Amino acid sequence: MQKPLVHVGIVGSGRAGMIHAQNFARLVPGAGVAAVSDPVAATRASASEALGGVAQYEDYRALLDDPKVNAILIAAPTALHCEIAVAAAERGKHVFCEKPMAMNPAECDRMVAAADKAGIVLQIGFMRRFDEGFRQARERVQAGEIGEVVLVKSCTHGPTYPKPWMFDLRLSNGPLAEVCSHDIDTLRWFTGSEFQEVYAIAGNYRTPEARAEFPDFYDQVLLTARFNNGAQGSITGAQGVQYAYDSRVEIVGTHGLITIGRLNAGAAVVCTRDKELRQPAIVSWTGLYRDAYLAEDCEFIDAIRSERSASVNGRDGRAAVAVVNAGNQSILERKPIQLT
């Protein structure tokens, strides 16, 4: 007997929300989109039209009360993730929560407890684990090709400037959360260990409009880490760099190196009469990780239909949030922070 479709409700219909929504609506086997919610009328109307005229709601609670909705995708601001996820679990709706999972580990614990109690799937949106390059690197690490992993370096530099709502670290947790959550998860994944200690420094180099009201806001951060198994880690995150969308990883072993990522967007290189080599750069994560988004969306629906846990779960999300909080504490206190 064929299993029924999983009808997903989209909570938050910005760029990330609509990437997932389009996947669920058209590309993910066994899935469909039942409704969207967004507090901005024009945004939710546009999203509804793009998805074939699905139901639209101003309040996410109304979406959760829609009997057609079996699962939700949370792409709302981070400060709302916990309350939305818990409310969904209490109604028996499966939850795919975009990163960062929540504002602090206590909120993550509430989300996990609610999901466990309801028996629903809780998946966190670390899509880089589904990228083909990352998967190949992971397989080669596990095969022992570079020996024991002793250092992982990951960078994410974005060309776009921070949005004004990000300036207040109490609401956004800053670039460590919004930009570097993927890098934090990358380091955990490739070291196979948990963060033991972090030290971070940061500064606001490109966002002068935030300095007066939000002196703690930073648009660039460097975090170094020690892991429980002795491995080392390094993360750089930046916003407003303008030159490209820059996502790269180096995995250093006892007798080898693996690199992931590139800056160039295509294979063609032009040599001009000015004696310059020119090649377009990657300008957005939306294209770079398009296939990875689709793969993680397929994973979510398959986990629901197979009645199993998601491969990227609340434990992974909580670990990253704990590092974000420790990193922000390190920036403020100017000292290394131990993680328990």
Which residue type occupies 221? V
Per residue in 46-73, pLDDT tens?
Answer: 999 999 999 999 999 999 999 999 999 9
> Residue 113 above 70 pLDDT?
yes
- What pLDDT is stored for residue 167 in this prediction? 97
CATH of the domain at 199: 3.30.360.10
Residue 169 within any structural domain of the chain: yes
More confident residue, 268 or 324: 324
Residue 1 within any structural domain of the chain: no
**Is the domain of 67 the same as that of 206?**
no
Q: How far apart are the first and last CA of the chain?
A: 48
> Residue 267 above 90 pLDDT?
no
Chain CA centroid to CA 71, Å: 19
Report how far residue 262's alpha carbon sits from residue 247's, in angstroms, rounded to the nearest whole number: 7
Residue 36 within any structural domain of the chain: yes
> Residue 119 above 90 pLDDT?
yes
Average pLDDT value for the chain = 96
Q: Are 73 and 9 in contact (CB under 8 A)?
A: yes
**Is the domain of 158 the same as that of 225?**
yes
**Is the domain of 75 the same as that of 189?**
no
Q: Token pair 């974000």 is at which residue?
A: 324
Contacts of 221 (CB under 8 A, 6+ apart): 174, 175, 176, 179, 180, 200, 201, 202, 235, 236, 237, 238, 327, 331
- What pLDDT is stored for residue 3 in this prediction? 82
> Residue 117 above 70 pLDDT?
yes
Contacts of 144 (CB under 8 A, 6+ apart): none
- What pLDDT is stored for residue 2 in this prediction? 72
Say how many C-beta atoms besides its own lie within 10 A of residue 223's C-beta: 27
> What does the block give as tokens for 337?
């922070």
**Is the domain of 325 the same as that of 302?**
no
Report how far residue 154's alpha carbon sits from residue 221's, in angstroms, rounded to the nearest whole number: 12
- What pLDDT is stored for residue 32 in this prediction? 98
**Is the domain of 144 the same as that of 273?**
yes
**Residue span of the structural domain in which 57 resides:** 6-128+291-312
Number of domains in the chain: 2
Half-sphere exposure of 217 (CA within 13 A, CB side): 25
**Is the domain of 134 the same as that of 94?**
no
CATH of the domain at 306: 3.40.50.720
**Is the domain of 258 the same as that of 245?**
yes
Report how far residue 272's alpha carbon sits from residue 289's, in angstroms, rounded to the nearest whole number: 31
**Is the domain of 194 the same as that of 277?**
yes
Residue 276 within any structural domain of the chain: yes
**Is the domain of 167 the same as that of 208?**
yes
**Is the domain of 119 the same as that of 150?**
no
Smallest Cα–Cα separation from 73: which of 94, 49, 91?
94
Half-sphere exposure of 111 (CA within 13 A, CB side): 32
Residue 88 within any structural domain of the chain: yes
- Banded pLDDT at 213 (limits 50, 70, 90): very high
**Is the domain of 165 the same as that of 119?**
no
Task: Tell me what the mean pLDDT of segment 104-129 comes to.
Answer: 98
Task: Tell me what the mean pLDDT of segment 278-296 comes to.
Answer: 94
Global confidence as pTM = 0.96
Per residue in 223-263, pLDDT tens?
Answer: 999 999 999 999 999 999 999 999 999 999 999 999 999 99
Per residue in 11-26, pLDDT tens?
Answer: 999 999 999 999 999 9
- What pLDDT is stored for residue 48 in this prediction? 97
Work out the percent of the chain whose per-residue pLDDT is above 70: 100
**Is the domain of 282 the same as that of 150?**
yes
- What pLDDT is stored for residue 1 in this prediction? 59
- Banded pLDDT at 219 (limits 50, 70, 90): very high
Residue 328 within any structural domain of the chain: yes
